[in-house]
Structure 1
Amino acid sequence: MSISNEVSNFEKRFTDDVIEIAAVTGASGVGAGRAAGNTLWQASIPLIGWKKLNSNDPVIKENLRLQWLANDKEFEESRDLLDMNSIVRLQIRKGEGSMMLVKVLETSYQDDDLEVVLQESLKPVFYNDEILGQFELIKSVNTFEKKIIWANDEGLLSFDWFEDNDKMKSALKTAYVLFEQQDEWSQRVKEYAAEELTELANDWLQDDEETEIQEITKEMFMGLMKLSTICVYPEGDFEIFYSDGDMFWGHSIIVCGNIDGKFDSAEIAG
C-alpha cells in the first residue's frame, strides 16, 4: 500500500474538524504498531480524561487512544513527544474511541479539573482475594499482580483487570487449582516443556562455542527452568513463564495450557 493510501485510510477514521483540548495521558508511554505491508507506524498513547478548551464543556473521563502516523525516523523522535501521567494541550480530530493528533501545543499544561483526574489515577489500586491475598494493579498493562512462592520457586502471579468482576473471579479460580496441587502442576508443566523443547535446546547448544556441556537431557532441561510469572485467565487457561537457564541465551520459556489438563504450547520468546 502506498503511503498516501495509508494516510488516507487512517484519516478517514476521524472527523475533519480540528479542535483544541487539554487531556491527561495514561500510565503507559508512546507505543506503536505497523500492519504487514505498511510503511508507516501507527503511534499512540492512552488518554484517561480530556476537556474541550475555549468552551464550558465539562471534563470527560474515558479511556481512549491518541494516535498518529509516523515513518521510522519520526517514530523514534516521537517516543519522547508525550509523557505518561501528564496534562497536555493538543490539537486533535475526534474519532470513535480514539483521537488523531494534529499538533502538540503544550506538554506541561495546568488545569485544575484535569489535575484532579491525574491525581486520582496515580493512587494505587488493589484487589483483595480471600484465598490468595492482595494484588496491586499495574496500570501500564491493566494487570493485577503479586509476589508468590509456587512449588518452592519465587515468582509473580498475575491476572487481567476486567470491568466484569466475574471474569476476574474466574481467572482466580484457575489460580486456586494451580496452587492446590502446585508440586504436581509444576512437574507436569516442566515435563511438557522438556518434551517439546529439549531437542531445540540441543540445537542451540551446538552454536555455543564456549559451553562445556555435551548434551542437555530432559532432566537437565527441567532443572534449569526457573519460575518467573504465572498468568491466569478465565475458564481455566494459564500461561507460565520461566527463565531458561541460558539454554536459549536468555529467552523466556512459556507454557500455555488449561487446568483441564490440556497443554496448548511450549515456546521461547523475548
Structure 2
Amino acid sequence: MDEQQQHKPEEIIQFEAEFAPEVLDVIVLTGSSGFTRSCLFDEQYWTGMISLNGWRLHDQDKIQSGSFTLLVKDEVQVLDNYAQQIKSDRLFHLKVRRNGNRFLLVEWLSEIDPFEDPGLEAMLQEQMEHVSIQDARLGILTLNRMVQTFDGELNWLGQTVRISIQQSEGESLQQQLQTAYRLLDEAAQWDERIRAFAAKELTTLKNNSWLEEDEQPLTEAEFAKRLQLEDITITPEGYSFWFHDNDLFWGHVVSVDGTPEQGLQQAQIAG
C-alpha cells in the first residue's frame, strides 16, 4: 500500500476498491437531473453524483446508452467546484474508473461542444425535446426533466393547484394517475381529512413554539382553516399535499404525506 493510501480511512479504501483499477478515457452525456451530494464518511469525504444517459470511449465511436451514474469523491469544497462544472444536459471529456453502471471520476478534462460529437449530440437533442401528455382528467402534464416529474395544474375545490406525477424509470404513469383520480373523486373529503390530520399533528407545536408576540393560541379548526393548498405530488409510493402556512410557522411549508394502502402517515414543517 502506498503512502497516500495509508492515510485514507478504511471506508474510503473499500469504496474505491469497488471500481476496476483501469482508467478509461471517455466522453459522457449527462442526464437532465442535477448534481447531488451526500456524505460518504465522517463529514469530510463526500460523493457528488449525476446521471449519465450515454457515453463512449474517447477513441471509439460506439455509444453505450442507458442509465449510468457518475460519482465524484472528495472533500465538500472540492465538490462545490465540480458542481459548477458538471451540469445537466452536457457533454464532458473525463477519465473514470468503472463498476457496472457506475463511474468514479479520476480526472475532469473538459466540456465538449455537442457539434464535435454527432452521435451523442443526437441523444442530447432527443432528451431535450419538449415532452407532454394529455390526460382526460388532469389536462396537459409536461415533463420536468430536472426531477423526472410530469407537472400540470388542476382544479381542486375551485382553486387552481399544481400537480406533479413522478415517473419510475421504465414504468408507466398508470398507478400514479389512478391515485390522482381517487383523490379527485373525493376531493372534499380528502381536503377535510388532510387538514384535520395536519392540525392534529401540528397545532400543539404551533401554540408551544411558534406564536407571534400577542398572538393567541389556535384551535385545531383554526389551524386547519389557515392552510392554503398549493401543490399535490403523486409518487409510486403515495402522495404528498403541500400547503402555504399563512404564517403559522413564519413562512415555512406544511406537508402531509400518505399512501393509498395505509392512509395519512405524516405531517411536518418543510422548507
Report the TM-score when normalising by structure 1: 0.89
Task: Compute the displacement of 1:78 (Å).
Answer: 2.1
The CA deviation at 1:152 is 2.6
- Which residue, out of 56, 61, 85, partners 1:51? 56
AA matched with 2:241: I
Q: Which residue of 2 aligns with 1:125?
A: 131
Q: CA deviation at 1:28?
A: 2.6
1:230 aligned partner: 232
Residue 94 (structure 1) aligned with residue 101 (structure 2) = no
Match of 1:153 in 2: 159
Kept in 2: contact 1:13–1:96 (CA 8 A): no
CA distance in 1, matches of 2:32, 2:191: 34
Cα distance change, pair 260–153 in 1 and its aligned pair in 2 (3 A): farther
| Kept in 2: contact 1:244–1:250 (CA 8 A) | yes
Q: Do structure 1's residue 30 and structure 2's residue 35 form an aligned pair?
A: yes
Return closer, same or farther for 1:198/1:86 CA change in 2, 3 Å cut-off.
same
Over the aligned positions, Cα root-mean-square deviation in angstroms equals 2.0
Amino acid across the alignment from 1:230: I
Please give the residue correspondences for 1:1-270 in structure 2 after superposition, counting only pairs within 5 Å: 3-35=8-40, 37-56=42-61, 58-109=62-113, 110-162=116-168, 163-165=170-172, 168-206=173-211, 208=212, 211-234=213-236, 237-259=238-260, 262-270=263-271
- The answer to whether the Cα contact below 8 Å between 2:12 and 2:41 also exists between their aligned partners in 1 is no
- Letter of the aligned partner of 2:96 in structure 1? I
Greater mean alpha carbon deviation, residues 17-26 or residues 102-111: 102-111
One-letter amino acid of the structure 1 residue matched with residue 120 of structure 2? L
The amino acid across from 1:5 in the alignment is E
CA separation of 1:74 and 1:101: change in aligned 2, threshold 3 A: same
Letter in structure 1 aligned against 2:257:
C
Q: Among all aligned residue pairs of Structure 1 and Structure 2, give the percentage whose two residues are the same amino acid.
A: 26
The offset of 1:42, in angstroms, is 0.7
Q: Secondary structure at the match of 2:184?
A: helix
CA distance in 1, matches of 2:117, 2:103: 20
Do the aligned partners of residues 184 and 85 (structure 1) sit closer, same or farther apart at CA in structure 2, a change above 3 Å counting?
Answer: same
Letter of the structure 1 residue corresponding to residue 125 of structure 2? Q
Question: What is the DSSP-based 3-state SS (H/G/I as helix, E as strand, rest coil) of the residue aligned with 1:83?
Answer: coil
Aligned-partner Cα distance in 2 for 1:36–1:150: 45
Bigger mean CA offset, 23-32 vs 188-197: 23-32
Counterpart contact for 1:44–1:67, Cα < 8 Å: yes
Counterpart residue identity of residue 159, structure 1: I
- Runs of 5+ consecutive residues of structure 1 not aligned to the other structure: none
1:59-111 Cα deviation digits (max 9, x unpaired): 11112111111112212222202121111111111112210111111113421
State the Cα deviation string for residues 189-245 of structure 1 (Å, max 9, x = none).
Answer: 101111111111112334x4xx4422222222122211121122447x321111211
1:154–1:227 CA contact under 8 A, matched in 2: no
Length-normalised TM-score, structure 2: 0.89
Cα distance between partner residues in 2 of 1:203 and 1:36: 37
In 2, the alpha carbon distance for the partners of 1:35 and 1:111 equals: 34
SS at match of 1:113: helix
Q: CA distance change for structure 1 residues 124 and 35 in 2, over 3 Å: closer, same or farther?
A: same
Matches of 2:192 and 2:8 in 1, distance apart? Answer: 52
Give the 3-state SS of the residue equivalent to 1:62 in structure 2: strand
Question: Which residue identity lines up with residue 210 of structure 2 in the other structure?
Answer: L
Check whether the contact 2:33–2:148 (CA below 8 A) recurs between aligned residues.
no
